[in-house]
Structures are given as C-alpha cells and as structure tokens.
C-alpha cells in the first residue's frame, strides 16, 4: 500500500443492483476480517455495539423491512432474533437493552455469518424478481446506506474497544503517515444572503436533509482546513482545559466530571495517540480528532473564532467535489490537508466537523410514516450536527447536504472542527 493514499471520490449515482448489494454487504464482512471471534462479542461502553451485533442488525434491517414486507411468505432465519437485533424501532416491537448487547454470547459469530448469507441469498432473489419495482429499490437503497453507516460505527466501536486493552492491539496495519508541510491557516469568504439548503432532489438522501429551503447567511468566513493536532496542543498548553471562561456550562461540568485534559486516545504525555493501526506518534499537521462538541466549541472561543453553522458549511461545500480521505483509501486516520491553500480543503473525509447548529428538523419537515419514519426524526433533541464524513466513512456515502448528529459530549467518533468568523 502506498504511503500517500489516493483520494476517494463519491461522485456517482447510487446503485442498488444485485452486484451493488453484494458489494456493500461484503465490505462489512471485510472490515471484520482481522477480528477474532472474541473481538466481535465485547461491548466497550453503552454507546458502542459489538461487531457481531452490527453484522446481525444490518441483516435484520433487510429481513424486516425488505423480505418480510415484500415477501411475507419468506421464512425468518430464526424466531426471536427480532428481539435481539432490533435497535430502536418501537413500532416493530420490543428490543434487547442497548447497554447489554455485549452479553449476547449466543447466537455465535458463526451463526450470525450464516444469517447474513441466508438473508443475502433471499435479497438477491428479491432483486432478481422485482428489480424494477420502485418501492423495492427505494428500500434497498436505504438499507445499503444504513449498512454503510454501520460500517463506520463498526470501526469506531472497534477502536474504542481496542483502546481499553492494555496490549494496545492494532486493528489493521496502516500505511505510514505522509510527510507534509502544514497548510497555512487562511479564511475563505463564505456565501452570504439567501441560499438554498438541503437535498436538491437528485439521488439518495435521508429524510432529515429535506425539505430544501432558504436560509439567510450573514457575511462570514470559514477556515480553509481543519484544526490540526499542533494547534490544539497550543490550546492545551495555554490552559484551555483549566479555563472555565472558554466552556459552555455543561461542557465545563463534563470536563470536571470526566477529568478531560486532552483529546480521546492521546496519552497523558501528549506524544502518541491510539489509532486503528495501534499506538502511533501524534502527527502535528493532521486534523485533531475524537473531540466532543464542547471541546470544539471551547477551542473556537480560545482562537477568537466560532464554529460554522451547518448552513454556512453546506453553502461552502455545495460546489466542491465530494473527494477526500475516506475509509476506501486505507489510511484509517485523518491526514494532513492537501491542495491549494486558498481553497477550502478537507470538507469531505478525514474528520466529521462539528457545527454550531442543533439537530432539528428543517422548515416543513415531517418524518415518513411507519417504522422507517423512526430513522431520524425521533432523535431531534439535544444533539448537534456534524458535516463532511471522516476517514472511517465509506466513499459514496456522503454529500454536501448530509447531516450527522451526536450528543455534545460524544467523542469516540472521528470528530474534529473547522473555524469560522463573522466578517
């Protein structure tokens, strides 16, 4: 593998053919290729899930929302697994408690892999018979995008799990970090006035990206790249984690309660960080990651700046090719910014970028009817929007209108920040 991974492009139309279905499903298994069965069972915290559960839940999604819906005569692989592998779809039925997923030693990993094969064969047959049915294709496309979300979650959950092991095992060997000169931090003028925000109606998008609507943006500027590890180290050295004036009240309470003094996975000497490739030296010019919203917001205050709104971010990203360091590059970690320093760099890939926008519905938003309507709308409370994808996101999964969301204290994702300022 080369030391400089190529950029992965997502500029293509969504494909839900039999071959595309197989490709996405096989990619999930490939992510588990270096895991032992013991690795796949353990749950490191309530917010994470075992790899085995991810493999089963994504399969249950197709069995529940495709096979049972369009082919009611299709035999369920195993009665009772609905309860084990339903995540949060209350209208479907009860589910096993999320914090106890790591207690499911049975079914075995081998049985879960057999479950995937059974459902895959049935799905390919459904696609063969009804591949021209719009309703089928829409649900297949949703299912494949849902699986890609879990591919990223699978990696972030494995990273957290392995970080707690005193042996500090590597998930997979990663290529050496490329030597790079730091891109000078510059601010790019953002669009202002009335702009169109949200999914434009071409290709797949989640319901939370719609309706497309107008937003008023005041004059502002956005940084040409993400904040680096070296820059965040300056914040730490200047007492950033000890200065309550920089923090939101809830953020300061969290810092005190959790004892935070640096980003997640950094060692206390702030020389190395734990990665999917094992413990590695901190790369000064790579984007800082594994930050909570609270940390991103505090750094922005310290830097005499702020976080961009999600509308400012999207308006900047709308005309930029969706290319970047995604999981397909094999880097498995954020890489330094590359390109013309006068342009907006790293908008896609490397790290999810916290915005200052709460996760709420757009004007006129209505969740879809039925169980699939529980996918996004029910979580529009107490969470904040991130944009752009990360080094663990599959290429082809994100777009300028894509809205990710997490609670403000979450930091086990590949989350970083980009600065903004009022003009």
pLDDT digits (tens, 9 = 90+) for 231-258: 999 999 999 999 999 999 999 999 999 9
Burial 324-344 (b: 16+ CB within 10 A, else e): bbbbbbbbbbbbbbbeeeeeb
Burial 163-184 (b: 16+ CB within 10 A, else e): beeeeeebbeebbebbeeeebe
Taking the C-alpha atoms of residue 83 and residue 96, their distance in angstroms, rounded to an integer, is 6
Report the DSSP beta bridge partners of residue 384.
Answer: 358, 406
Query: Mean per-residue pLDDT for 93-97?
Result: 95
Taking the C-alpha atoms of residue 322 and residue 399, their distance in angstroms, rounded to an integer, is 6
pLDDT tens by residue, 27-65: 999 999 999 999 999 999 999 999 999 999 999 999 999
pLDDT(3) > 80? no
Taking the C-alpha atoms of residue 341 and residue 317, their distance in angstroms, rounded to an integer, is 16
Report yes or no: 99 and 86 within 8 Å, Cβ to Cβ: no
Which residue, 162, 160, 152, 171, is CA-closest to 45? 160
Query: Mean per-residue pLDDT for 2-20?
Result: 51
DSSP-derived secondary structure for 165-221 = STT---SS--PPPPP-PPPPP-EEEPP-EEEEES--SSS---GGG-S-EEEEE-SEE
Taking the C-alpha atoms of residue 187 and residue 213, their distance in angstroms, rounded to an integer, is 26
Report the DSSP beta bridge partners of residue 324.
Answer: 8
Report yes or no: 325 and 351 within 8 Å, Cβ to Cβ: no
What does CATH list as the number for 8-163?
1.20.120
pLDDT tens by residue, 292-336: 999 999 999 999 999 999 999 999 999 999 999 999 999 999 999
Cα atoms found within 13 Å of the Cα of residue 173, Cβ hemisphere only: 5
Instruction: Assess if CATH 3.40.50.720 describes domain 187-422.
Output: no
Number of residues that this document lists for the chain: 423
> Looking at residue 16, what is its pLDDT?
60
pLDDT(164) > 50? yes
> Looking at residue 339, what is its pLDDT?
81
Taking the C-alpha atoms of residue 10 and residue 163, their distance in angstroms, rounded to an integer, is 30
In the chain, which residues fall in CATH 3.90.1580.10?
187-422
Q: Who's near 94: CB < 8 A, 6+ residues apart?
A: 83, 86
In the chain, which residues fall in CATH 1.20.120?
8-163
Q: Who's near 258: CB < 8 A, 6+ residues apart?
A: none
pLDDT(8) > 70? no
CA dihedral (252, 255, 257, 259) positive or negative: negative
Specify the pairing of strand 323-324 against strand 352-358: unpaired
Which residue, 243, 149, 197, 238, is CA-closest to 355? 197
pLDDT(66) > 70? yes
Report yes or no: 175 and 330 within 8 Å, Cβ to Cβ: yes
Taking the C-alpha atoms of residue 212 and residue 194, their distance in angstroms, rounded to an integer, is 13
Report yes or no: 274 and 163 within 8 Å, Cβ to Cβ: yes
Phi, psi of 240, rounded to the nearest 5 degrees: -55, -40
In three-state secondary structure terms, 374 is: helix
> Looking at residue 83, what is its pLDDT?
95
Phi, psi of 193, rounded to the nearest 5 degrees: 95, -155
Q: Who's near 340: CB < 8 A, 6+ residues apart?
A: none
Taking the C-alpha atoms of residue 314 and residue 401, their distance in angstroms, rounded to an integer, is 6
Taking the C-alpha atoms of residue 66 and residue 133, their distance in angstroms, rounded to an integer, is 12
Taking the C-alpha atoms of residue 220 and residue 188, their distance in angstroms, rounded to an integer, is 9
pLDDT tens by residue, 346-398: 999 999 999 999 999 999 999 888 888 888 889 999 999 999 999 999 999 99
């Amino acid at each position: 593998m080369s030391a400089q991974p190529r950029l992965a492009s997502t500029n293509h139309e969504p494909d839900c053919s039999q071959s595309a279905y197989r490709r996405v499903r096989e990619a999930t298994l490939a992510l588990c290729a270096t895991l032992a069965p013991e690795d796949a069972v353990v749950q490191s915290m309530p917010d994470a899930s075992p790899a085995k559960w991810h493999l089963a839940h994504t399969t249950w999604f197709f069995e529940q929302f495709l096979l049972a819906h369009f082919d009611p005569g299709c035999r369920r692989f195993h009665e009772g697994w609905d309860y084990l592998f339903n995540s949060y779809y209350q209208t479907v039925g009860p589910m096993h408690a999320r914090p106890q997923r790591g207690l499911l030693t049975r079914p075995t990993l081998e049985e879960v892999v057999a479950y995937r094969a059974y459902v895959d064969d049935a799905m390919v047959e459904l696609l063969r018979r009804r591949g021209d049915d719009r309703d089928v294709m829409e649900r297949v496309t949703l299912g494949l995008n849902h699986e890609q979300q879990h591919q990223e979650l699978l990696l972030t959950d494995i990273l957290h799990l392995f970080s707690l092991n005193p042996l500090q095992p590597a998930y997979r060997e990663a290529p050496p970090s490329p030597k790079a000169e730091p891109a000078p931090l510059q601010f790019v003028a953002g669009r202002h006035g009335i702009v169109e925000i949200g999914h434009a109606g071409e290709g797949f998008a989640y319901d939370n990206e719609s309706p497309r609507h107008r937003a008023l943006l005041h004059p502002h500027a956005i940084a040409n790249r993400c904040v680096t590890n070296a820059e965040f180290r300056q914040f730490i050295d200047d007492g950033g984690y000890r200065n309550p004036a920089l923090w939101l009240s809830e953020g300061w309470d969290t810092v005190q309660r959790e004892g935070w003094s640096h980003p997640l996975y950094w060692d206390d000497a702030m020389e190395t960080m734990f990665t999917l490739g094992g413990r590695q030296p901190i790369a000064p010019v790579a984007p800082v990651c594994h930050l909570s919203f609270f940390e991103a917001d505090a750094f922005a205050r310290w830097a005499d700046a702020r976080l961009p709104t999600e509308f400012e971010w999207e308006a900047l990203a709308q005309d930029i090719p969706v290319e970047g360091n995604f999981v397909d590059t094999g880097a498995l970690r954020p890489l330094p910014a590359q390109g013309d320093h006068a342009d907006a760099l790293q908008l896609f890939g490397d790290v999810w970028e916290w915005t200052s926008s709460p996760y709420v519905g757009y004007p006129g938003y209505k969740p879809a009817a039925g169980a699939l309507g529980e996918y996004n709308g029910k979580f529009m409370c107490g969470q904040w929007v991130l944009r752009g994808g990360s080094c663990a996101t599959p290429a082809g999964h994100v777009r300028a209108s894509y809205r990710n969301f997490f609670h403000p204290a979450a930091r086990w994702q590949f989350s970083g920040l980009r600065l903004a300022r009022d003009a």
